[in-house]
Amino acid sequence: MPKRSSSVVGREFGNGVRAAIASTGLTHRQLAKLLGWQEAKISDLLAGKGGVTELEVATLLAYCRVPLAEYERLMALFRESGNVYLQMPKDGVPDQVRTLIEHEKDANEITCWSMILVPGLLQIHDYIEAVTAKARTVSPENRAAVVAARAARAEILEYTRTFTFYVHEQALWLPVGGEEVWREQLAHLLRLSVRKYVSIRIVPRSIGMHAGVSGDFRLMKFPKYPPVVYVESVKCCLFFDDKETVDTYENILKDLAAVALDEEESRAVINSILEGLQ
């Protein structure tokens, strides 16, 4: 097992094994004794320090009676290596993957860039529903559950962390869900924009070409481990935590910050669009 305690894969693997061990009700010492291990071996496994074979991981998970789906997920994570983590969710909904949700909850600083739509964390329920209804990746029978899960992610918008959203002006002009939903979404942005821990900055259409044309992404920063960049497409999502890639995306954000309107100017743009819909 490679040393990767600070990587996306290593953290997700460690969290999954911790949960498996916790489900047994045993202490690390008790479990190690039953497995014939030194207690330090379990600590090293959870910390991503290596020194554990695939067979030993399989034995531990089997002893913890981990359900088959979770067993296969953890074994796949154990075999994963590198600083790029690709996920192709079975339900076809990239932003519902466990890895993203857990990292969003752990982050103390999240910066998003969105070019076409209002950023997901800022979307109201009806806006989410309208977007999901048009998504070919979500089946009609799963739509309500997906909408509810996406809406619930906004619960992380609270004062113990900071959020910065760079939004292209064209995203505000897209009438998602019809005029009534469009108006309420813009009003919701105005309400959020006055919170001290939320910064919404509009990149105006008038600037033309800009650094963010390569697509949407989010940068998550954490108190105890390196930043992570998240990028998604229609059927898959990517997590990057290598310094070179993170630096590239941070530079894009710096360029966007240089051309984006400030918070007050951005509120004025949102308000002017909203007033035009009255």
The string of pLDDT tens digits covering residues 20-59 is: 899 989 888 888 888 888 888 888 788 766 677 888 888 8
Which is it for strands 198-203 and 162-168: parallel, antiparallel or unpaired?
Answer: parallel
Q: Within a 13 Å sphere around the CA of 165, how many CA atoms are in the beta-carbon half?
A: 26
Express each pLDDT in 2-14 by its tens digit: 454 557 777 778 8
Of residues 242 and 182, the one with the higher pLDDT is 182
Contacts of 93 (CB under 8 A, 6+ apart): 135, 137, 138, 146
Query: 85: alpha, beta or left, given left = phi > 0 and alpha = psi -120 to 50?
Result: beta
CATH topology of domain 86-276: Endonuclease; Chain A (3.30.870)
Given this structure, which CATH class describes domain 8-82? mainly alpha
Q: Which residues pair with 240 in a beta bridge?
A: 84, 229
Q: pLDDT tens digits, residue range 190-247?
A: 999 999 999 999 999 999 999 999 899 999 999 988 899 998 877 677 888 888 999 9
Q: What is the mean pLDDT of residues 248-268?
A: 97
What is the value of pTM for the model shown?
0.76
Where are the domains positioned within the chain?
8-82, 86-276
SS3 assignment, position 84: strand
Smallest Cα–Cα separation from 185: which of 112, 268, 114, 125? 125
3-class DSSP state of 160? coil
